[in-house]
Amino acid sequence: MKKLAVLSVFIWGVLAGINWDIYEHGVVDTFRWSRPFPDDGTDPGGFHVHCKAEGTFHAKMYKLSDLIEPEPLGLQPWRFGIEEFLARRGYPGSWDGVDHKDQNREIVVMEYVDVPEPVRHWIEEQQRDVFEETIENGQKVMRKKRNDRKWLFGIFAKPKRENQQINDTVAPKPTDAAAVDPAHDIKDEDKIVVFAAGAAYEILPLWVSKGSKCERAMSNLTKYKHQAEDDTILAWVTDHTKPKRDLDKRDITFKVEAMEVTESEEGKRSRLMWEKLHRTLRRNERRMQKEERMKVRRELTEGRIKDEL
């Protein structure tokens, strides 16, 4: 009986760890991420871990059906701006790339000041790719280009008066700080950022890079990979909560972990051995396929000769 009880607890733990939303709702085609290191706290096999960084962040999560609802349960002041922003780009999925479809799709909302500085800098640089500086009345201003589909984070101003509607994203500051018009400058504490959770995976190391022992490496997104390779940065959202909608709550937290790894000599030997074995199996498979084709060709040729006789 004791063994059965232990087994049932184990099975329940395994089932509890499965994200059933993936099976019920599916994952968006563009979500190419998977957990790159073990979930039991151990290091990736065959790799040296040079440093780790982690951080937990507070946010709110809404469904698109909440856009028409007033605050704090909804996002009514930003409804038209968010709808326009989301309509111009593909949906990156929620946590684990899940797509709940239509009005059940989820979006994350954060106070812009709560977003780590490296992430804010990256977002603003992305904005500059879809805006262009122009001169109007002697002042530099930013005008949006038509092609802004790759920009996945929407920055919106907070309303300054009752019933104010926010219909567009905030333009980035001109590159020349001296050209910023103070009358139109919006402080970070007066902004929010809106994004689908799946978009965060594009830049996960930046969320925990600042102040870490490998800040420089984690700030270099060219080293950020989906799976462990030599001299890479790995990252994952290792934990996230759900809003308690039955209690009219929208608050969530999500935890990001990242690490810098290099391949160990033992790991390299093992990898090369498996790569060699895989090449050998592929060669043997191709040889057998070639022999099979030649056999069929001979049989067809012999059959035609017999028919002619």
* Per-residue pLDDT reduced to its tens digit, 14-37: 444 566 667 677 788 888 888 888
Cα–Cα dist 153/117, whole Å: 14
Q: How far apart are CA 131 and CA 143, in angstroms?
A: 5
* Closest C-alpha to 256, from 233, 229, 222: 233
User: Is the N-terminal amide bond of 72 cis, ω within 30° of 0?
Assistant: yes
Does pLDDT of 181 surpass 80?
A: no
Residues 136, 109: contact at Cβ < 8 Å?
A: no
pLDDT of residue 195: 95
For residue 293, pLDDT beyond 60:
yes
Containing H/E element for 284? helix 265-308
192-236: pLDDT as tens digits: 999 999 999 999 999 999 998 889 999 999 999 988 888 889 999
Q: At 252, which helix (H) or strand (E)?
A: strand 251-263
Give me the mean pLDDT over the 36-50 stretch. Answer: 83
Nearest to 262, CA basis, from 230, 302, 236, 297: 230
Residue 21's pLDDT is 67
Cross-sheet strand order for the sheet of 47-63? 154-157, 191-195, 106-111, 47-63, 251-263, 232-240
pLDDT band for position 268 (cuts 50, 70, 90) = low
Q: Name the residue with higher pLDDT: 94 or 3.
A: 94
Closest to 61 in 3D by CA, of 103, 28, 83, 94: 94
Q: Would you say 219 and 122 are in contact if contact means Cβ atoms under 8 Å apart?
A: no
Task: List C-alpha distances in Å: 72 to 172, 228, 248.
Answer: 27, 41, 9
Compare 112 and 228 and report the one with higher pLDDT. 112
> What is d(CA 200, CA 258) in angstroms, rounded to the nearest whole number?
13
Write the DSSP string, 175-233.
SSGGG--TTT---GGGEEEEE-GGGGGGGHHHHHHTTSTTHHHHT-GGGB-SS--TTEE
pTM of the model: 0.74
| Helix, strand, coil share (%) of the chain residues, nearest 5 | 45, 20, 35
Q: What is the residue type of 167?
A: N
Which of the pair, 1 or 111, is modelled with greater confidence? 111
Q: What is the pLDDT of residue 16?
A: 43
Mean pLDDT (whole number) for 248-261? 93
Structure tokens given for 209: 């890079």
Q: Which of 54, 29, 66 is nearest to 194 (CA)?
A: 66
Q: Who has greater pLDDT, 57 or 133?
A: 57
pLDDT at position 205 is 95
Contact present, 147 and 132 (Cβ < 8 Å): no
Indicate the pairing of strand 131-136 with strand 139-144.
antiparallel
Amino acid 14: pLDDT? 41
Mean pLDDT of the chain: 81
Least confident of 92-101, 159-168, 173-182, 298-307: 173-182
